[in-house]
Chains A and B, each alone.
Chain A
Amino acid sequence: MASEAKLSHTSAIILQAIHAGFIYGFSIMEMTGLPSGTVYPAMRRLERDRLIRSHWERQSIADAEQRPPRKYYKLTSEGKSTLSASRRRYPLLERLIPFSEAKSV
């Protein structure tokens, strides 16, 4: 698949971070250590390539917690298969961001 072959290391890390549960921009920044000017554009491209999709948090939840609503990101089925292929290409990816780490942020 063309998108699998072209996925850069940064994009693969972001994809792995979202898969691990870091589902909004700032948390991905915190987890990966990448600057905002890298993380957000990469997420736009992933979303354009239909590897991730976004949705807005419900206003009622945000209101209950007295904060603005957030935009969350989620892997698509295509994104999951691309991530699997990327893990084969970058074997350390899973070790860099294990699935359980999301709970700590």
Chain B
Amino acid sequence: MSLSYSGFAWVQRELLTCASWLAPAAQRKEWKQEWLSELWHVAQARMPAGSGSWKAHEQITRFCLGAFHDALCLRTMSWRDKKPLVSWSGSPLQCLLLLCAALAVAYGISLLLPGVRAESRPSNYQVNPNLVLIQGARTPDDSKATIPIQQFRSWKERKQEYFDGFAFYRIAAEATSTSTSERTTLNVAHASSNLFALLGLAVRYDEPAVEAGSSTPAVILCDRIWKTEFGENPHIVGSLIEVGRRKARIAGIVPFGSWRLPGQVDLWLLEPDSEIPSGGLGYALAHLSRRGQSEVWTRRVHITEYEGDYVTGDLWGVSFDERTRGPGGIFLFTVLLALLCLPAVASVSMSESSFSSHRPTWAKRIRRWAFLCAKICLLLPIVYFSSLDLAYWHTPLYSAASQYMQLISSFTICLFGMRWVMLDQRQRCPVCLKRVTHPASVGLASRTFLAWNGTEMICTDGHTMLHVPALPTSWFSTQRWLYLDTSWRFLFVAPGVEGGA
């Protein structure tokens, strides 16, 4: 046997091996066996003595090249034999997977938004209980400063029955020297030294208390200034910076999203109340004493200020609950609201009437309800994350606007999401849970009271037909299912399949 013969034989066999990879895996082995067998016979026919001319080799090689056509043909046939895409379309699995995808997208976006990340850590922004923000009674908006430092000092000096702790802060724009050695104008809160202790807010890289007698006040940086001006340097704590014309020691960093009190603050200069500069208005916080707690049970309480027997002022004490309750409360509230509103936008009745006496089995009914529950279970986190995404898309920090945005978006998405869930469920075949399709308009609107008028839809697997009246009448008020018996099956048998669905 010549070298050229064995070389050609090797090439021809390898061609068949390559072609075999085009054939479907299930048929590959048998397909290759057939072609190798045929190759042997072709070779015998073309080269009976074991060696042949170039022409014979060319003919055999051409024969092998035909295997590629054959393998491709098998592959195409296997693709066509697979269940068509239409059977996947409208299936319950497709619905659940789409909801999962929507949830993944909403959750993924929420991970990218710093505002949502901050919201998801309630321990960062929770404050001590029984705190109230004291406001002037003439200002309904609790975000405006109304208390002068002199008034605050007078409260502290007097014995209080309802409060056992006070703190004050006043925000002013002041030039501050930072690590970049340039003086930057920042929003500085001149605050009581016990402000963070009263609030119970955790401060990162908290420096141990400065030794008694030190005249250098402590300064707490907000997360944004720490990152932009100090390059997230954790060793910055303990170093001195100049705030206004005073030296101050950096004592810690407030985590992102922790500060939820009124006012945009870049740094807090903690100093004794007697040293807080006069001028301008600030915010006063108070902790309710045991007696105060027993007297206050509403979110907003009226406070009357006395001096001796004389009333000297009217004030409001506003609870912190609204500012620190986190997104979960708003979400639950909007879900409840949406459920109450749902009957106005969609029929919530899941009871079904039927033209025939056939009823689905208990297993199928339970499956249908489980599918509905699964949709709702997937919808709720989608509502939660997508409403937070919308609320914090433009603003990285907590604000009244972001809360309002969350409220509106959560309610809207939940309401229309639930509406979609109900409408989708009503158009799912009770037997296979696939959406009924191929709507056909039947009858004439002008003959509603004489004959049936509405839309008919059919399950693509041939289980049911849905009749939806165009105009509910006393004799046909809600949609009805018609369970198709076996006499309909031949219409739904796939071509070439015996005894199909």
A37 in contact with B37 given A44-B77, A45-B77 (CB within 8 Å): no
A36 in contact with B70 given A48-B77, A67-B40, A67-B41 (CB within 8 Å): yes
Say yes or no for A71: interface residue by CB 8 A criterion. yes
Say yes or no for B36: interface residue by CB 8 A criterion. yes
- Whether the Cβ atoms of B37 and A44 lie closer than 8 Å is no
Which listed residue, B64, B70, B496, touches A41 by the CB 8 Å rule?
B70
For B63, the chain A residues whose CB sits under 8 A away are 29, 35-36
For A50, the chain B residues whose CB sits under 8 A away are 496
Name A24-76 residues within 8 Å CB distance of B.
Answer: 24-26, 29-30, 35-41, 44-45, 48-50, 67-71
Count of CB-CB pairs between chains A and B under 8 Å: 64
Say yes or no for B265: interface residue by CB 8 A criterion. no
Say yes or no for B69: interface residue by CB 8 A criterion. yes
Closest to A43 in B: B70
- Whether the Cβ atoms of B38 and A26 lie closer than 8 Å is yes
A40 in contact with B496 given A24-B38, A25-B38 (CB within 8 Å): no
Which listed residue, A37, A45, A49, A70, touches B41 by the CB 8 Å rule?
A70
- Chain A contact residues (Cβ within 8 angstroms of B): what range? 20 to 34
Query: How many angstroms from the CA of A25 to the CA of B37 in the assembled complex?
Result: 10
- Whether the Cβ atoms of B496 and A49 lie closer than 8 Å is yes
- Whether the Cβ atoms of A26 and B41 lie closer than 8 Å is yes
Query: How many angstroms from the CA of A45 to the CA of B77 in the assembled complex?
Result: 8
- Whether the Cβ atoms of A44 and B70 lie closer than 8 Å is yes
For B34, the chain A residues whose CB sits under 8 A away are 25, 71
For A30, the chain B residues whose CB sits under 8 A away are 45
- Whether the Cβ atoms of B36 and A68 lie closer than 8 Å is yes
Query: Shortest CB–CB separation between residue A74 and chain B, in angstroms?
Result: 15
Which listed residue, A36, A40, A68, touches B37 by the CB 8 Å rule?
A68
- Whether the Cβ atoms of B40 and A68 lie closer than 8 Å is yes
Query: How many angstroms from the CA of A69 to the CA of B34 in the assembled complex?
Result: 8
Query: How many angstroms from the CA of A28 to the CA of B17 in the assembled complex?
Result: 23
Query: How many angstroms from the CA of A44 to the CA of B40 in the assembled complex?
Result: 21
For B33, the chain A residues whose CB sits under 8 A away are 68
- Whether the Cβ atoms of B73 and A26 lie closer than 8 Å is no
- Whether the Cβ atoms of B77 and A38 lie closer than 8 Å is no
- Whether the Cβ atoms of B67 and A36 lie closer than 8 Å is yes
Closest to B34 in A: A71
Say yes or no for B74: interface residue by CB 8 A criterion. yes
Which listed residue, A26, A38, A49, A69, touches B42 by the CB 8 Å rule?
A26
For A71, the chain B residues whose CB sits under 8 A away are 34, 37
A48 in contact with B66 given A26-B38, A71-B37 (CB within 8 Å): no
- Whether the Cβ atoms of B66 and A35 lie closer than 8 Å is yes
For B73, the chain A residues whose CB sits under 8 A away are 40-41, 44-45
For B66, the chain A residues whose CB sits under 8 A away are 35-40
Query: Shortest CB–CB separation between residue A2 and chain B, in angstroms?
Result: 9
Query: How many angstroms from the CA of A45 to the CA of B74 in the assembled complex?
Result: 9
Binary CB contact string for chain B from 62 to 81 against chain A (1 if under 8 A, 0 otherwise): 11111111101110010000
- Whether the Cβ atoms of A70 and B69 lie closer than 8 Å is no
Which listed residue, A29, A40, A48, A69, touches B69 by the CB 8 Å rule?
A40
For B36, the chain A residues whose CB sits under 8 A away are 68
For A49, the chain B residues whose CB sits under 8 A away are 496
Residues of A near any B CB (own CB < 8 A): 24-26, 29-30, 35-41, 44-45, 48-50, 67-71
Which 7 pairs across A and B sit closest by C-beta, in order of nearness? A36-B66, A37-B66, A37-B69, A41-B73, A40-B70, A68-B37, A71-B34
Residues of B near any A CB (own CB < 8 A): 33-34, 36-38, 40-42, 44-45, 62-70, 72-74, 77, 496
Q: List 24 A-B contacts (CB under 8 A).
A: A24-B38, A26-B41, A26-B45, A30-B45, A35-B63, A36-B38, A36-B63, A36-B64, A36-B67, A36-B69, A36-B70, A37-B66, A37-B68, A38-B66, A40-B66, A40-B73, A41-B70, A41-B72, A45-B77, A48-B496, A67-B41, A68-B37, A69-B37, A70-B38
Query: Given contacts A41-B73, A68-B40, A70-B37, could you give 12 more A-B pairs where the C-beta distance is less than 8 Å?
Result: A26-B45, A30-B45, A35-B62, A35-B66, A36-B62, A37-B67, A37-B69, A37-B70, A40-B70, A41-B74, A44-B73, A44-B74
